[in-house]
């Protein structure tokens, strides 16, 4: 960890948001606005089969019947003009798998700035500790690494568009089975206009030998990003999937409305980790990403497990509740979350654990950190359905406040319909102590670093859930996002 100290300090001094660059990539856009023609345009661009277009159109027509949801979450923002957004942007030079030479050199530079050199990834084939990466820029997945290595085990890891072409039976079987397009306003919108995303399928009895990872990047101005991720662990399969995301600094607000669906069959396990670092806007609250995301998993089979770990530091507004439906008997759902808000950021995040099967168990550990003028809410539902015998939940929701201008809120909902259910809920709210900071100062540690140390300690239970590479990145991010929040 010691080696990580200097870069942290440098980042503090150097910039507020280090991913705020714009890449000069030749991009193809859809015209602004949304109508059936745009939906057809997107589908056509992607050369999609008829059933896919039909699905999009159904979702679009349903979306038209809905009202934009307002004021139910603890969030405040102006009405979004959905006709002022471009729903499709793609780098013009289409990258083809297997040949990095054909990739736009600007794109490769972008990846290097993001710290994922695809060339290096490629060279690493055959070396231990590898991560397979799918990179999505604006709307299109540009490069998926390690595809061949994974294919040997029967693992499918590719862009969503490719999956539609190459594995239509799997996509048709599972897409919308956890988050139907009727689920909510943004899920309907996503189902109509989603551009790309990641698809991953782990066949029966296979343990995925490496972390699978997707990097999402919004690059172009005036665009929305609507990706879809579908992860399926078949019987007895295991996969650990990571997702990272960044965006350039812009004065305008950009919309990101993703849908993530996870399916775990009998004895299957999916571990999903995110470090979300979309551009949060400047100190006055200008610009930043609206991050309205629907993430849900279902433990269909007995003894299956889905675990969500999220570190949320970015976005102007975050609205997201990664949830688990515990259908299979003895299935397990977990939610580990760190949500940091600083300056004018707003976050309303949490989870839903829906217990349907017998002996199902869920754990919720949520750590909210608010600084500046930000507002940070935990919103969580634990529902134990009738007949879900001996279901158990443990929830712990902690809030840490820095300064006296920010807000922390907890909205726990508990519905127990079976008398054998046991639900425990613990909550704490604390302020970062001047005493703690002075104690660190007196040992030679400056205040910025002290805050980083204290906050990382506070979040340790959650950070411990992250894979190693991500944990280090997340620790740095936490320190950087809280820069200037005390004193």
Partner 1 sequence: MISINNLHASVEGKEILRGLNLEVKPGEVHAIMGPNGSGKSTLASVLAGREDYEVTQGTVSFNGKDLLDLSPEDRAREGLFLAFQYPVEIPGVSNINFLKTAINAIREYKGEGPMEAKDFLALVKEKQKLVELDGKLAGRSVNEGFSGGEKKRNEIFQMAMLEPKLAILDETDSGLDIDALRIVANGVNKLRSPERSFIVVTHYQRLLDYIVPDVVHVLWNGRIVKSGPKELALELEEKGYDWIKAEANTVEA
Q: Which residues contact partner 1 (rule: CB under 8 A)? A: 1-3, 5-6, 433-436, 438-447, 449, 453-454, 456-461
Handedness of CA 447, 453, 457, 461 (dihedral sign): positive
Which two three-digit tokens encode residue 138? 């604006």
- As a three-state string, the secondary structure of 114-161 is HCCCHHHHHHCCCCCCCEEEEEEECCEEEEECCHHHHHCCCCEEEEHH
Q: Which is nearer to partner 1, 173 or 447 (CB)?
A: 447
Minimum CB distance to partner 1, residue 110 (Å): 31
Minimum CB distance to partner 1, residue 313 (Å): 18
Q: Which is nearer to partner 1, 79 or 443 (CB)?
A: 443
Minimum CB distance to partner 1, residue 449 (Å): 7
Q: Which is nearer to partner 1, 78 or 444 (CB)?
A: 444
Phi/psi at 248 (5° precision): -70, 165
389 in helix, strand or coil? coil
Which two three-digit tokens encode residue 179? 């988050």
Whole-angstrom distance, CA of residue 238 vs CA of residue 279: 32
Minimum CB distance to partner 1, residue 323 (Å): 27
Question: Pick from 348, 332, 450: which is nearest to 402 by CA?
Answer: 450
Phi/psi at 443 (5° precision): -100, 10
Question: Pick from 195, 202, 179: which is nearest to 132 by CA?
Answer: 202
Whole-angstrom distance, CA of residue 133 vs CA of residue 121: 8
Q: Which is nearer to partner 1, 332 or 451 (CB)?
A: 451
Minimum CB distance to partner 1, residue 274 (Å): 21
Minimum CB distance to partner 1, residue 3 (Å): 7
Minimum CB distance to partner 1, residue 252 (Å): 38
Whole-angstrom distance, CA of residue 332 vs CA of residue 109: 41
DSSP string of 269-286, one letter each residue: EEEEEEEE------TT--
Q: Which is nearer to partner 1, 68 or 446 (CB)?
A: 446
What are the CA-CA distances from residue 17 to residues 275, 369, 480 (Å)? Answer: 15, 18, 8
Q: Which is nearer to partner 1, 2 or 127 (CB)?
A: 2
Minimum CB distance to partner 1, residue 1 (Å): 6
Q: Which is nearer to partner 1, 370 or 393 (CB)?
A: 370
C-beta of residue 27 within 8 angstroms of C-beta of residue 256? no
Q: Which is nearer to partner 1, 99 or 442 (CB)?
A: 442
For 105, which DSSP code?
H
């Amino acid at each position: 960890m010691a080696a990580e100290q200097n870069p942290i300090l440098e980042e503090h001094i150097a910039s507020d948001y280090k991913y705020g660059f714009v890449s000069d990539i030749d991009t193809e856009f859809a015209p602004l606005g949304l109508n059936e023609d745009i939906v057809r345009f997107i589908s056509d661009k992607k050369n999609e089969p008829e059933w896919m277009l039909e699905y999009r159109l159904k979702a679009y027509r349903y979306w038209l019947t809905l009202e934009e949801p307002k004021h139910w979450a603890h969030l405040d923002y102006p009405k979004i003009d959905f006709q002022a957004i471009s729903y499709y942007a793609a780098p013009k030079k289409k990258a083809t798998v297997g040949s990095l030479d054909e990739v736009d050199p600007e794109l490769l530079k972008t990846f290097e700035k993001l710290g994922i050199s695809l060339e290096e990834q490629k060279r690493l084939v055959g070396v231990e500790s590898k991560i397979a990466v799918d990179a999505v820029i604006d709307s299109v997945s540009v490069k998926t690494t390690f595809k061949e290595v994974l294919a040997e085990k029967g693992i499918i890891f590719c862009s969503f568009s490719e999956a539609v072409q190459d594995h239509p039976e799997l996509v048709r079987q599972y897409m919308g089975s956890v988050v139907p397009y009727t689920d909510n306003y943004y899920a309907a919108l996503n189902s109509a206009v989603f551009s790309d995303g990641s698809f991953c399928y782990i066949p029966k009895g296979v343990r995925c030998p490496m972390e699978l990872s997707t990097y999402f990047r919004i690059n172009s101005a005036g665009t929305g990003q609507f990706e879809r991720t579908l992860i399926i662990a078949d019987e007895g399969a295991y996969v650990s999937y990571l997702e990272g995301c960044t965006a350039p600094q812009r004065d305008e607000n950009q919309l990101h409305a993703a849908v993530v669906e996870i399916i775990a069959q009998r004895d299957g396990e999916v571990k999903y980790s995110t470090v979300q670092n979309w551009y949060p806007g400047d100190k006055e609250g200008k610009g930043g990403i609206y991050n309205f995301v629907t993430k849900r998993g279902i433990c269909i089979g007995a003894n299956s497990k889905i675990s969500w770990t999220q570190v949320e530091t970015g976005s102007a507004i975050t609205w997201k509740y990664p949830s688990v439906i515990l259908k299979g008997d003895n299935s397990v759902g977990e939610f580990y979350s760190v949500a940091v808000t600083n300056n004018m950021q707003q976050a309303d995040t949490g989870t839903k654990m829906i217990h349907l099967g017998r002996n199902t168990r869920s754990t919720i550990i949520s750590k909210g950190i608010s600084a500046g003028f930000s507002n940070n809410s935990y919103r969580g539902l634990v529902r134990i359905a009738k007949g879900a015998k001996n279901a158990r939940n443990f929830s712990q929701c902690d809030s840490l406040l820095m300064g006296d201008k920010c807000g922390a809120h907890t909205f726990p909902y508990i519905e127990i319909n079976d008398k054998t259910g046991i639900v425990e809920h613990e909550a704490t709210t604390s302020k970062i102590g001047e005493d703690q900071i002075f104690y660190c100062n007196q040992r030679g540690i400056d205040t910025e670093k002290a805050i980083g140390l204290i906050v990382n300690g506070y979040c340790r239970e959650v950070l411990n859930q992250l894979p190693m590479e991500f944990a280090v990145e997340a620790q740095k991010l936490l320190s950087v996002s809280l820069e200037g929040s005390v004193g």
